[in-house]
Structure 1
């Protein structure tokens, strides 16, 4: 085991596992950030969206544990640990591929799902304080108004021609939104395209990062198999 080539593979595998552990921490962080980012809009989102962020958290923790296992295998030069590590990497890769394909196939349903949930939530915002707070937070954070347009508020039951103050963020305190000259200060952008654009942008970033992690995993499997093969040859000598 004193060959230069074997030592290079050993330290490259160790370096790989360091990068892999960092990627696990990043995935864990992304899951937590998604949970926090959209927690104020929980009434507008399907439970599956929050389940997805929870899956990211679990995968991030799992990747970190697997990376630690790989480091131990490389340091101890254990054939069993290295082959187990390679198998776990392949399992993670398959899980990520299945999740990525499923997410890509469902992406066209995103706008339809959001619009249905947002219209339902908007209809309840007059009588339900939680839905009202959700819409105030959404319209303030994204500088938007209504689902597709501020006119969505006028379609609601008991609409009196006014809009929530968060639809007019530039309006001085005390003035009624959408009355008289204040109509020009109403946010014209609907919250559906604003929220959908943010979600799609995040999904694109996740896909790029997933491809990078997949490439790192592929390299890791190669290193682990090479080192395991060298160990078996040494043990048979």
Structure 2
């Protein structure tokens, strides 16, 4: 049994594991929120890092929450092999969270050009590719925007230039998707919005690229910060577990 300083380290480890457990729940929650609420954007990002980072957060959150119990049990029972196992697992999770945090910042800095190219390219696939159609409709409804601006053109004009088969205009033919128009209006207003899109007829006329970019960059910053923050917490857990390991006879 440890005493004196050893007991202080033991109680500090209990407290650290409590904080680590809460951190694991936070990481898990952010990962679930990303997959459940914003995974529809993946097809337009030009990268699968967004959803991959969410899956990584979920897995890491679960493992961190579980492993905190192992560390607490090892400290309570003063079992050296359990403390050593806790240290090793925590070290690998530390590397995983640190890499994940760094990737979040890298992705944040690289998202602009890649996402812009992907969004412009996929406009031509609207109504020809169900995944693209669903992604654009979801983005336009959730972010209250329409299309993507190229040069000085309005964002909603890209449908007429890039996808004339479905949005070439003409009598009774749409120039923008229905998802650019308000669902709160009556059907005549919706049809007029689709056939004659203007700043005063479109409810959703903002540039989707700008709105997505702001959201994705903010989220990547959040993911990167959480990853690096939890990694720092794990260092405390590793130091305390090794200290207690060395103090137990």
**Residue segments in structure 2 that go unaligned for 5+ positions in a row:** 150-154, 170-174
Contact 2:31 2:57 in 1 (8 A): yes
Partner in structure 1 of residue 168 of structure 2: 160
**Residue segments in structure 1 that go unaligned for 5+ positions in a row:** none
Contact 2:108 2:220 in 1 (8 A): no
Structure 1 SS opposite 2:124 = helix
Contact 1:83 1:225 in 2 (8 A): yes
Contact 1:171 1:185 in 2 (8 A): no
How far, CA to CA, are the matches of 2:16 and 2:113 in structure 1? Answer: 41
TM-score normalised according to structure 2 size = 0.82
TM-score normalised according to structure 1 size = 0.86
Partner in structure 2 of residue 174 of structure 1: 188
- Gap change, CA 1:13 and 1:24, over 3 Å in 2: same
Q: Deviations over 1:93-140 (max 9, x none)?
A: 222222333343343321222223222322111334443333222111
What is the root-mean-square deviation of aligned Cα atoms in Å? 2.3
Higher relative contact order (CA 8 A, sep 6+): 2
Partner in structure 2 of residue 197 of structure 1: 214
Partner in structure 1 of residue 152 of structure 2: none
How far, CA to CA, are the matches of 1:166 and 1:108 in structure 2? Answer: 30
How far, CA to CA, are the matches of 1:183 and 1:172 in structure 2? Answer: 18
- Gap change, CA 1:32 and 1:83, over 3 Å in 2: same
How far, CA to CA, are the matches of 2:98 and 2:130 in structure 1? Answer: 41
- Gap change, CA 1:130 and 1:223, over 3 Å in 2: closer
Partner in structure 2 of residue 15 of structure 1: 15
| Residues 1:93 and 2:110 are matched in the alignment | no
Partner in structure 1 of residue 133 of structure 2: 132
| Residues 1:107 and 2:113 are matched in the alignment | no
